Amino acid sequence: MSDAQTFHGTTIVMVRKAGRVVIGGDGQVSLGQTVVKGNAKKVRRLAKGAVIGGFAGATADAFTLFERLEAKLEQHPSQLARACVELAKDWRTDRYLRRLEAMMLVADREVSLLLSGTGDVLEPEASEHGAVMAIGSGGNYALAAARALIDRPDMDAQDIVRRSLEIAAEICVYTNGNLTIEALDAAR
C-alpha cells in the first residue's frame, strides 16, 4: 500500500482515577490526506459491558482484534489480563494476525492494558492520583494533557479524558472533536 492510501490513526486515551476507569477516542478516519469519515466509533464495550476498549490503526484490523479479544474473554471470563496475553501471543505468532496494524487500550474494573502487535501487554504506571495511557496519532498530545490534569482534584477521570482528547484534536490533524467515551466503576 502506498503512503497516500495508508489509514492514519486516531487518538485513544485511558484514565483510571478515584474509582473509575474511562476510555475515550475521537471519530476521524483518514485516508492519506483526506478525512473519509468523521464519526467512527473506536471505543466500545466488550464482554457484556464488563470491558471497555479503544483502538488506533486500521479499522478492519481493529475489528478483527476486538472479535478475537471477545473470543479470548469467553475462554477466560473475568480474566482480562490472561485474555490479553493469549491474544498477544496469537497476534505475534499467527501469520494472518501478524500483519494487522492496530493498537488497543482495554480496561475492566481492575486492570488497564495496552496491546500491540509486537506482543506488548502493558499496564500504565500509576501515580498517587491515578494512571493514564494513550495511543494513536494524537496519543502523545493526549497523554501529556492527561498527565498534566491527573492531579487536579476538580477533574474526574471522564473530565480528564474529554479535555485530553479536545487538546489532541487542536494539535493533531488526524484527530477530531467527535468523541466517544465509555466508563466503568473500578473494583473496590
Domains in the chain, CATH or no CATH each: 3-182 (3.60.20.10)
Give the pLDDT mean for 138-154. Answer: 96
pLDDT at 101: 72
Tell me, letter by letter, the H, E, C secondary structure of 78-121.
Answer: CCHHHHHHHHHHHHHHCCCHHHCCEEEEEECCCCEEEEECCCCE
pLDDT at 59: 76
More confident residue, 136 or 127: 136
List active site positions: 10
Residue pLDDT, tens place only, 5-64: 334 568 999 999 999 999 999 999 888 888 889 999 999 999 999 999 999 887 777 788
Inform me whether the pLDDT recorded for 144 exceeds 60: yes
Inform me whether the pLDDT recorded for 154 exceeds 50: yes
Q: What is the mean pLDDT of the chain?
A: 89
Question: Residue holding cell 478492519?
Answer: 60
pTM: 0.91
More confident residue, 129 or 106: 106
Answer whether 103's CB lies under 8 Å from 55's CB: yes
Tell me, letter by letter, the H, E, C secondary structure of 47-70.
Answer: HHHCEEEEEEECHHHHHHHHHHHH
* Nearest alpha-carbon partner for 184 in 26, 50, 63: 50
Give the pLDDT mean for 161-166. Answer: 98
